[in-house]
Chain A
Amino acid sequence: MAIDSEVLVVGGGLAGMTSALSAARAGADVRLLSYKQSTLRHASGLVDILGYAGDGDGPLTDPYAAIPDLPTEHPYRTVGESTVRDAMALFDETLPTYRGTHTDRNALVPTHGGTVKPTARYPASAAAGLASDDRPVLLVGFDSLVDFDAPQAAAHLEAAGVPFEARGVTIRFPGDLRADAKVTRYAKLLDTDGDVSVDGRERSVRDALAERVDAELDGEARVGFPAVLGDDRASAVRAALSESLGADVFEVPMGPPSLPGLRLEDRLFDALDEAGVGIETGNPVVDYECDRTDDGPDRIDRVFVEKNGARIPYSAGQYVLATGGLVGKGVESDRERVYEPVFDCHVPHPGDRYDWFETEAFGDHSFARFGVATDDRLRPTDADGTVEFENLRAAGSVLGGYDFAAEKSGSGVSIATGYTAGRGAVGVSP
């Protein structure tokens, strides 16, 4: 007897979680299977919709306005602009700690490399750092945290022409953390406001940090730190530092492991729990069985999860494929071909693997668009454009036809297609 649900979502990233949430909110009994750690821990925690047009034009001030001009195979064209708005409304309702809801305009957020990135939503922790705000900024880095060099980032921001004065300083984080301490170590210490030893004296880490920064502060109205300011109690950490410094405090989003990305993931899992979604993590879906039909596409009957060497069947009426792209291994390749490993859905790609990329590091790479093609209901289609399975929908970066990195569209596409696939699975057309 298979473990049964109405909707089964395969994949636990932003797209999978959004589709599970929308299906559950529409009243369905939903189960979500997630194999590996989600790629959210690699992501900055910024939620972008569209930062650059298909031809590279940008940064775009209004992400929605550019959607009708995207290529027809782009997932945004498949779901349509108004669905993107509806999906973002679900996100906004679920994540009250995110900002940017008051306007359609993109924000420009400084990132750890010293550039600014266009994004539609940003965590409250990044809000005081917006690049369109003209108040002077002091950036503070820590000498053993190698992913954020504050003086370099400040100089880079000024080279980008930001409308504020930026200055960067590097300080020693109070207490003797090891030179290779992880960002979570800093965050936990600030969360608990633990004592650290400074000049032979025990002090609270927040006080000690504020004191070191205060010595460097020269009237700047805002102070930016690498994104390590707490995990579970991030807002309390910022409030405490802000009060001591008499300046707004913000975080600069960083690369992996990204605390803002992990915080977003935690919040979404909480929302799934509240919505009654059953979640199982740690084991891969390795196979499936389907019912053949004489007329029309096959129906997936069940999938098999490999658990401690056994194959456990899971069945559902509807399935959502949200296993990710090349990074998350929802799309795989060998020397001969590119394929989708769970249901072997067709992935369009050039036959010669030397046509999968360009010679420039930031060229217009074909691989960046690898993923399944779908019909207008997000059901994967084969090479002839025929639907592969009647009851399978795809969401997020397993979809092809868009380059999320160049467009800065990864989160928005995952949310919009996750929303569409989740609601489609319970028969609600968006």
Chain B
Amino acid sequence: MASTPHIAVIGGGSTGIGIARDLAMRGLDVTLLEQGNLTHGTTGRMHGLLHSGGRYAVSDQASAEECIEENRVLRDIASHCVEMTGGLFVKRPEDSEEYFEEKLQGCEACGIPAEVVSGAEARQMEPHLAKDVDRAISVPDGAVDPFRLVVANAASAQEHGARIETHSKVTDLLVEAGEVVGVEVEHDSGPGKRVHGTEGGREEIRADYVVNAAGAWTGRIGDMAGLDVAVRPSKGVMTIMNIRQVDTVINRCRPKGDADIIVPHETTAILGTTDEEVADPEDYPEEQWEVDMMIDTLSELVPMLSEARTIRSFWGVRPLYEPPEVGSEDPTDITRDYFLLDHAERDDLGGMTSIVGGKFTTYRMMGEEISDHVCEQFGVDADCRTAEVPLPGSEDFSVLRDYMDEFGLRSPIGRRSVERLGSRADEVLEIDGPNPTLCECEGVTRAEVRDAINQSGSDLNAVRIRTRASMGNCQGGFCCHRLASELHGSGENGYDEVTARQAWDELLQERWKGQRHALWGEQLSQASLNYALHATTQNRDRDPADGDPVDFAAFDRGPEPNETAGTTGVATDGGERGGD
């Protein structure tokens, strides 16, 4: 090849971003296109489980082996995104003995370290487990922050020269002479970082090869070139609790079933999930029974969940795929494996491969395989290095340093900032001026928020996924306006007031959306407080800047000076008790 091949990757979830990093590290030119924020699709809507493979050790041993291999890789290259909580497959008296044995043997067969613990031992590890849990299998499950992981991959891809375009929807595939030669995209706000109010526009991006990694949207991209890629989207609910009732991943040890996992994630615990095929990945019912089932069924494992506070629920859509000839009826029977569909071989249309199916835990392996495939097209001979080179933030981060004194942060906040930032802590936390906490629930300081704004533009939801600001108990009740103020801040973050106000509104709406499924008890009280703070004190629901002009002259201007002394309120009550 005379020049470096240019590859367009469609999809900014874990799969697409993993491919972009891999190809960029092998020296190819890469442009990644994502219709929303990074993780906009399924990646941003998962339970955050780093699989040990235990879940698939009976039903799908090939996937189980991939999981344990990648589990080990991610602990190494993404240490600042992973919390090795460990996991338990918990058996209740009514659950099958045979299945328990099969699970244990399956783990052994797949090379997953597994150990049987008694009910009493399991309760020693997790005191809130039900009293009648009789046995459990301990496995190396963990929790992983999908946002942080994807952002770190994007940063690495950019360091290697990749162009990452978010809020850029692919509207067409360019096809010439039986070959895909590029894509047409609609930028929401102009190329580069997203900034509210800047003009978007259409762009034709010519590419030597296109990789379709659009997850649940893969079929839609295929349609643009008349290809039939039958992704079978399947929805699942996840319910977030306000505290970690457990510090270990708790799985129910029984064959497939709904509501069988609890993942401790940062300050929360996430209950999951359901598995139900939907027609449209963007429009499907989110139903009360699903939330109720999470709480009621998982209370059988951890009884305190029935009375606990949930802060929101969300749904994700798995982009499942199986070769059409398999014909599974039930989505739980569809394999979690992934497939490369080279459209030249499959459909006689060159220049594009789709990747479908797969799991978050194996995103890197999928990236490696498709990058091998792409390099083969161009005769590029370059080794994959993504399993060895740590992600930005995870370099040289074997020991968690104590940054408290160094950055003048209170201990829990300092610790949490550094956990999130990993080896980037130094460069991010060093700012001019004071570094107050903006989000108290998650311990996020101004420095982290400014760093995120520098990365992602005026989009506060992008700031949220990078920092976790507004994702705690109060769901943004106390910090949404503070984040908007940082956008309006001086220096390189200097957006105007209208831009900051639009971003603020978007964040308020987004935070409301998921809370709707948690509105009873404490969280309804919290939502009422948030509503009152925003509507009463700030009058944001009837913001005069957004509405009709106000006739200011018709309102009280204070008494005439000769009417009452002290209109300014300084002179009338200057005594000891002047506490008005």
Contact = CB atoms under 8 A, between A and B. Distances in A.
Interface of A: 42-44, 51-52, 56, 58-59, 61, 96-100, 102-103, 105-108, 111-118, 123-128, 130-133, 143-147, 149, 151-152, 155-156, 159-163, 170, 172, 178-180, 230-236, 238-239, 242, 248-250, 253-256, 258, 260, 263, 266-267, 325-327, 329, 332-335, 352-354, 356-357, 359-362, 365, 367-368, 404-406, 408, 410
26 contacts: A42-B532, A51-B542, A59-B542, A61-B554, A97-B580, A99-B569, A117-B539, A118-B539, A127-B558, A128-B569, A130-B555, A146-B438, A155-B488, A235-B572, A239-B574, A254-B537, A255-B538, A260-B580, A326-B525, A327-B532, A332-B521, A334-B521, A353-B520, A359-B516, A405-B535, A406-B541
Interface string B546-575: 000111111111110001101111111110
Contacts of B556: 100, 103, 105-108, 130, 132
Contacts of B537: 43-44, 111-113, 117, 253-255, 258
A162 B489 CA distance: 22
B578 A234 contact: yes
Interface stretch (B38-46, B101-109, B428-436): B428-436
B498 A116 contact: no
A353 B524 CA distance: 11
B437 interface: yes
Interface in B79-130: none
B558 A365 contact: no
Contact of A144 (B436, B513, B520, B572): B436
Given A105-B555, A361-B512, A116 B533 contact: no
A130 B557 contact: yes
7 nearest CB pairs, A to B: A124-B569, A235-B578, A97-B580, A113-B538, A149-B485, A155-B497, A405-B535
B436 A180 contact: yes
Nearest to A121: B556
B328 interface: no
A161 B545 CA distance: 7
B501 interface: yes
B210 to A, nearest CB: 37
B555 A107 contact: yes
Nearest to A56: B542
Given A152-B497, A334-B520, A365 B531 contact: yes
Interface residues of B, number: 81
A155 B498 CA distance: 9
Contacts of A98: 580
B555 A131 contact: yes
Contacts of B577: 232-233
B294 to A, nearest CB: 12
Contacts of A143: 433-434
Given A59-B555, A179-B437, 20 more contacts: A99-B569, A113-B539, A115-B543, A124-B572, A132-B557, A159-B545, A179-B408, A232-B576, A236-B574, A239-B571, A242-B568, A249-B568, A249-B570, A256-B478, A333-B524, A334-B520, A353-B519, A356-B519, A359-B513, A404-B532
A332 to B, nearest CB: 7
B72 interface: no
B436 A125 contact: no
A146 B512 CA distance: 22
Contacts of A56: 542
A209 to B, nearest CB: 16
Nearest to A127: B569
Contact of A354 (B288, B531, B545): B288
Contacts of A123: 569, 580
B223 interface: no
Nearest to B446: A146
A367 B524 contact: yes
Interface in B333-355: none
Contact of A108 (B408, B490, B511, B552): B552
Interface in B476-499: 478, 481-482, 484-485, 488-490, 496-498
Nearest to A141: B485
A313 to B, nearest CB: 29
| Residue in B408, B516, B570 with the greatest tally of chain A CB atoms within 10 Å | B570
Nearest to B566: A124
Contacts of B436: 144-146, 179-180
B580 A263 contact: yes
Given A113-B538, A335-B520, A357-B516, A238 B570 contact: yes
